[in-house]
Structure 1
Amino acid sequence: MDKLDTLDRQILNILQEDGRASHVNIARRLGVSHTRVRDRVLRMEEAGVIEGYQAVINPAVLGQGVLCIVQLEVDQRLDFEEMVKEILKFDEVVEVTNLTGNVDAHIRVWARDIPHLRDILYNKLSTLPAHKSTNSTIVLKQWQKPLGLGN
């Protein structure tokens, strides 16, 4: 896909704010036709710029009140991709990131409470064959923003 123009970036900014925004509403906000918005969105979907749409769920409302960042060092002789597949089987894990530096993986884990987190750390993550060591940090508060695309 060629570079994104101003209209593409404006559409993406709106969709990052509200993934359920209709083409008609986006068009109204931007002062263009809904068919133009639809065509742009389809083009960006086909090009892989837009990979999908999803609901943002509040884990705390569902009883998952503790977010923990686990840094994992692994045995380099074992298959990292296979280990990631195993980690992602745990319901509490929402993200695994491969890193450079002193640790190999950054894992975001949601737990109900500290005893549940302890169970995840000791009875799930530390039992993986590739596990060498972990360092865990409990998140007190987090801030997020959409990717800045300009106008």
Structure 2
Amino acid sequence: MSNVQSLDAIDRDILFHLRQDGRMSNTELASRVGLTPPPCLRRVKRLEDRGVISGYRAVIDQAALGRGMEVIVTVEVSATDVQSLKRFEETVAGFDEVIEVRRVFGVPDYFLRVAVANADEYAVFQMTRLVTIPGVSRVISYLTMEVIKSES
């Protein structure tokens, strides 16, 4: 049985509240889901042990870091050998401006989320870093007007 199928309504409620605030105390979480603290903690621990909860992290406001402009970038690569693809992935994942990298089926080959201060900074990033990676054959950029929903 998969993890999703074995989750009951309380488990799903726990996950909902932890997605909203992963630093919430167990006492507060238990209160919100209608349990006492000990069984709530056991459920959270079980969800962690089963890999349903894979970790906790801080969500960083990119604008507060001076990177208020987000660009969605599609990248097509001409390389098809595993070594070249891994090299491309490691290179873009190492760029501080790149906050997410996804390899996708079909065309394009990759979606990137890039956070920069402004359009001029993005232009420099694209022209001096992204398109200079061996194997990059096409880059299309989409400026984000507004983020409606995001888990990060």
Residue 21 of structure 1 aligns to a residue in which SS? Answer: coil
Render the CA deviation track for 1:23-56: whole Å, top value 9, x for unaligned. Answer: 1111112221111111111111111100111111
Residue 60 (structure 1) aligned with residue 92 (structure 2): no
Q: Structure 1 vs Structure 2: percent identity of aligned residues?
A: 33
Return the alpha-carbon distance in structure 2 between the equivalents of residues 18 and 142 of structure 1: 19
Q: Which stretch shows the higher mean deviation, 9-18 or 22-31?
A: 22-31
Residue 70 and residue 52 in structure 1: after superposition, are their counterparts in 2 closer, same or farther (change >3 A)?
Answer: same
Q: Which has the bigger relative contact order, CA under 8 A and spacing at least 6? A: 1
Residue 103 (structure 1) aligned with residue 108 (structure 2): yes
Return the alpha-carbon distance in structure 2 between the equivalents of residues 46 and 52 of structure 1: 11
Give the RMSD, CA atoms, in angstroms: 1.4
Query: In the TM superposition, what is the alpha-carbon distance from 1:143 to its structure 2 partner?
Result: 1.2
Return the alpha-carbon distance in structure 2 between the equivalents of residues 144 and 34 of structure 1: 31
Matched positions, count: 146
Give the gaps of 5 or more residues in structure 1: 147-151
Return the alpha-carbon distance in structure 2 between the equivalents of residues 9 and 143 of structure 1: 23
| Residue pairs, 1:10-49, within 5 angstroms | 10-49=13-52
Query: In the TM superposition, what is the alpha-carbon distance from 1:76 to its structure 2 partner?
Result: 3.1
Q: TM-score, normalised by structure 2?
A: 0.90
Query: In the TM superposition, what is the alpha-carbon distance from 1:145 to its structure 2 partner?
Result: 5.4
Return the alpha-carbon distance in structure 1 between the equivalents of residues 112 and 136 of structure 2: 13
Return the alpha-carbon distance in structure 2 between the equivalents of residues 130 and 37 of structure 1: 50
* Deviating 4+ runs (over 3 angstroms): none
- Specify the code of the residue in structure 2 equivalent to 1:74: V
Query: In the TM superposition, what is the alpha-carbon distance from 1:66 to its structure 2 partner?
Result: 1.1
Q: TM-score, normalised by structure 1?
A: 0.90
